[in-house]
A and B are shown apart, each in its own frame.
Chain A
Amino acid sequence: MRRIVSSPMLRRGLAAIALLIVSVFLIDMLSDYRQSQVSSVAYLAIAAGGLSVLIGLNGQLSLGHGAFMAIGAYTVAKMLQDGKEAPMLVLLVAAVIVTALVGAIVAVAAARLQGPYVAGATLALAVAVPALAVHFRDALGGEPGLRVSSPDVPTSIDDALFFLTGTETGTSQWLATVSVACLVVTFLLLRNLSQSRVGRQWRAVRDDPVAAQLAGINLGRSRIVCFIVSAACAGLAGGLMAMVTRVAAPSGFTLILSLTLLMAVVLGGLGTLTGALIGAALLTLLPTYVTNAGSSLGLSDLQSAELAPLVLGLTTIAVVLLAPAGLVGSIAPALRRLRTPSTDTSVTTTITRGEQS
């Protein structure tokens, strides 16, 4: 028994369940508005987490994760069209599967391409997918998009939650709970995956592809798997987003979404899930604060709405130039250094550079 409890995977699983129960109570205490913010942080964090793993652990860049979110969102929207109904789990699983399939096609191409080409191809994807939604007006609703009916709270779950919290569960509370549950499960899976053999291979491919190949790692397969996992996360995020925002429309998945998602991941620190969560919180909360500040400075609403990306972009530029490891990546080692002095990790790299004389 003790051995099972000490296995890190199980320990993390138990921690996740505890976290979930706590969050059910916390969400219950929030207003409708705050609950929808929680949902938004959760689904953005899922997408950011997938992107962070892709860039930080595998060294592949994607400027097109907004497009994968769109695919997840449209999958859910299509399945709920014309009064059709489906259990939420089915909807979300479908969003993940469809996005993973599209992700697989992109991944096969991306795995054979070098840095700037992958960036360009995923950029093209980010521009192409919303345009497709406009083009196929009949199937995908054109510019206004597809409406998504908000899901009912299943009675059994309503009862269970009533038993826990003693209150009726509203739609936004239900969506926040589902989003947080998805977030916890996704992060648990990503965390376990990145610490498994597969994750070690991803890092090996990122650090030194030649050495990884010599060690018997199939580079292409490793890159493809990582890309599919990452795209699937974005698909799940998109599916949740469609339910929370009740619409799947091209304007929700612009190039700017893909880029701000990337910025959020960079700010949080590449390759860390904590960083992805912080980045997602930033994406959700920054607009409200900055927009208020803008209004009080006498800017119009439309102008103030642009302040958030402005601040995000400027911060990202500053972070890339001054603290290339990202906010979390830069602060965490600094804290660690405060606790344990010395140990300079940069020694090995500089030694090899100094040897050229």
Chain B
Amino acid sequence: MLELKGVTSRYGPVTALQDVDLVAGEGRVTSVLGANGAGKTTLLRTISGLHRPESGKVTFDGQDITRMSADRMTRTGLAHVPEGRGVITELTVHENLRLGLLGRSRHREPLSVSDVVDLFPILGDRSHALAHTLSGGERQMLVIARALLATPRMLLLDEPSLGLAPRISAQIFGVIRQLVEEHGLSVLLVEQNARSALSIADVGIVLGLGKVIACDDAEVLSADENLRHAYLGY
């Protein structure tokens, strides 16, 4: 569904991604793992049009999206979910959700705010609070809910467990898995927390210093002890 071929991205003289090939399939969770500085965030920013790759090609559902601008990307059904800091803290929870509706793609049944509030009931209670009053977990729920309102076909999730208590991140990973299984959503997940990310993933990809080190079924990666020790840190 989403395919990268030979993608190289730079920040000035620093190569953040080097010749990356990657496929994220439909209806599956693909987890990209790696340490800090491995190029994970750059990968998502390159896909979603926030950062222009130097070379290579990104296609989504057969459509070349390599040079598409970020704002058009959501309308093709690809929703970038920045990590929890991506809530607009000066707006209320409800306004953040309304923003999600504005960039709606035409690819799925439209969702309403109350549909996503069913997934994360706490957002309903806090509807008129300014987003800066939310906890880390609530913020993460808000950015995911907001992305869902854009009715994407694929979610690009950036470190959804960052800074969250294990119980909260487990809840969020549970919802992600549920969305994939019940609604046929595809997910490309970028995580440092390799154990949790692999536990809900179908496919795992390990990035190291901007290169793809390994790519296999999630169970195979979890079983590879050498890889776990060297790159995944558990």
Whether A208 is near chain B, meaning CB under 8 Å from some CB there, is no
Interfacial residues, chain A to chain B (CB-CB below 8 A): 344, 346-347, 349-351, 353-357
Partner of A350 from the list B14, B42, B45 (CB cut-off 8 Å) is: B14
A350 to chain B, nearest CB (A): 3
Whether B139 is near chain A, meaning CB under 8 Å from some CB there, is no
Within 8 A of A (CB), among B172-189: none
Q: In the complex, which residues of chain A have a beta carbon less than 8 angstroms from the beta carbon of B11?
A: 350, 353-354
Contacting pair B14 A351 (CB below 8 A): yes
B36 to chain A, nearest CB (A): 8
Q: How many inter-chain residue pairs (CB < 8 Å) link A and B?
A: 31
In this complex, the member of A346, A349, A354, A356 whose beta carbon has the largest number of chain B beta carbons within 10 angstroms is: A354
A–B complex contacts, Cβ < 8 Å, 7 sampled: A347-B12, A351-B14, A354-B16, A356-B41, A357-B16, A357-B37, A357-B39
Contacting pair B14 A354 (CB below 8 A): yes
The contact string, 1 if C-beta is below 8 Å from chain A, for chain B 24-52, is: 00000000000001111111010000000
Contacting pair A350 B13 (CB below 8 A): yes
Distance, CA A356 to CA B14, complexed state (A): 12
Interfacial residues, chain B to chain A (CB-CB below 8 A): 10-14, 16, 37-43, 45
Q: In the complex, which residues of chain B have a beta carbon less than 8 angstroms from the beta carbon of A344?
A: 13
Q: Which 6 A-B pairs have the closest CB atoms?
A: A350-B12, A354-B11, A354-B14, A357-B42, A357-B41, A357-B39
Determine the main DSSP class of B at the interface with A: mixed
Measured CB to CB, the nearest residue on chain B to A351 is B14
Distance, CA A347 to CA B14, complexed state (A): 8
Q: In the complex, which residues of chain A have a beta carbon less than 8 angstroms from the beta carbon of B37?
A: 355, 357
Measured CB to CB, the nearest residue on chain A to B51 is A357
Measured CB to CB, the nearest residue on chain A to B14 is A354
Q: In the complex, which residues of chain B have a beta carbon less than 8 angstroms from the beta carbon of A354?
A: 10-12, 14, 16
A237 to chain B, nearest CB (A): 41
Q: In the complex, which residues of chain B have a beta carbon less than 8 angstroms from the beta carbon of A346?
A: 12
Partner of B13 from the list A347, A355, A356, A357 (CB cut-off 8 Å) is: A347
Distance, CA A346 to CA B14, complexed state (A): 11
Distance, CA A147 to CA B23, complexed state (A): 81
A346-B12, A350-B12, A357-B37 known; 9 other A-B pairs, CB under 8 Å?
A344-B13, A347-B13, A349-B12, A350-B13, A351-B13, A353-B12, A354-B10, A356-B41, A357-B43
Q: In the complex, which residues of chain A have a beta carbon less than 8 angstroms from the beta carbon of B16?
A: 354, 357
Distance, CA A357 to CA B17, complexed state (A): 10
Q: In the complex, which residues of chain B have a beta carbon less than 8 angstroms from the beta carbon of A357?
A: 16, 37-43, 45
A287 to chain B, nearest CB (A): 42
B137 to chain A, nearest CB (A): 23
Q: In the complex, which residues of chain A have a beta carbon less than 8 angstroms from the beta carbon of B45?
A: 357
A297 to chain B, nearest CB (A): 44
Distance, CA A296 to CA B32, complexed state (A): 69
Distance, CA A274 to CA B39, complexed state (A): 44
A190 to chain B, nearest CB (A): 34
B9 to chain A, nearest CB (A): 9
B12 to chain A, nearest CB (A): 3
Measured CB to CB, the nearest residue on chain A to B16 is A357
B125 to chain A, nearest CB (A): 33
A51 to chain B, nearest CB (A): 32
Distance, CA A350 to CA B45, complexed state (A): 17
In this complex, the member of A344, A347, A351, A357 whose beta carbon has the largest number of chain B beta carbons within 10 angstroms is: A357
Q: In the complex, which residues of chain B have a beta carbon less than 8 angstroms from the beta carbon of A349?
A: 12
In this complex, the member of B10, B12, B41 whose beta carbon has the largest number of chain A beta carbons within 10 angstroms is: B12
Distance, CA A349 to CA B45, complexed state (A): 20
B158 to chain A, nearest CB (A): 10
Distance, CA A307 to CA B40, complexed state (A): 54
Measured CB to CB, the nearest residue on chain A to B46 is A357
B13 to chain A, nearest CB (A): 6
